[in-house]
Amino acid sequence: MLSPFRRFTSIVVLILSLIVPIIVSAQTSTGSVCFNNDYALCSHAQCECIDEEGQPGNCTADGLAKCTCPIVRNQQNDNRELETAAYNANYGILRSCDERANPQLTDVLPKFVNNGTVAADVYSEYSYGDSLASRQFGTKSSAQLMICTNNPLMTDCLDAPCIVNDEGVAICYCKNTQLFADQIAIPWNTVGGDCQPQNCDLGEAKVWSAAYVQGTQVAIDAIQKDLLEFSGKFVSEPSYCN
């Protein structure tokens, strides 16, 4: 029997049939799951849109947003426990596991951050994070994914560079994006919004950190595959709001 997540996703995939190849090629071509790095978790972040100088501004496609996100610190897993593996597992596209664990100067932050001369402290990656009932990731636990269908603009924090501030949280710089198929906005999902569709729209100056639905499913499939190879067991997948 299909899980509620997969049943819901099957319906959404019908909507996305014309543009799934675009999303998959853009988000999954070199994706990998890593277990040994710290990372920022921006899955529920309300992000402030900024201009080219890093100052607050209206949200625009292809612009930037500044997101404040909790940091997931890697935990030793010498006993190869599945729960700890699920906690550590994070999915990204642009960098190897070593690069995620050891950010380099070759991948600098935007120029308005310390004149663009410093490397990121951590990167923002996808994980089960807030959906895990047994763990507290910053502000959420047992959270569900909310789909937004009529709000085309979001910010994509996957692989985004982040610095760690004095409070120990990550400030990540993410790229805004919007996609359409036949002039219809392509749905995206976020862990934010408390499953209230009216919360999809944050106004002109803020935007959710989010991901396109099909890209999220590909990331989930990758994590499940690695956890199965790790332990021979699956863990509960993130679920959608009812």
Which of 205, 200, 111, 207 shows the shortest CA–CA distance to 161? 111
pLDDT for the residue numbered 188: 94
pLDDT for the residue numbered 182: 79
- Gap between the Cα atoms of 24 and 218, Å rounded: 8
Indicate the pTM of the whole model.
0.84
Q: Please, what sign has the CA dihedral across residues 64, 136, 138, 109?
A: negative
Which of 188, 179, 191 shows the shortest CA–CA distance to 212? 188
Helix (H) or strand (E) holding 147: strand 146-148
Q: Which residues of the chain have pLDDT under 70?
A: 1-30, 116, 133-141, 152
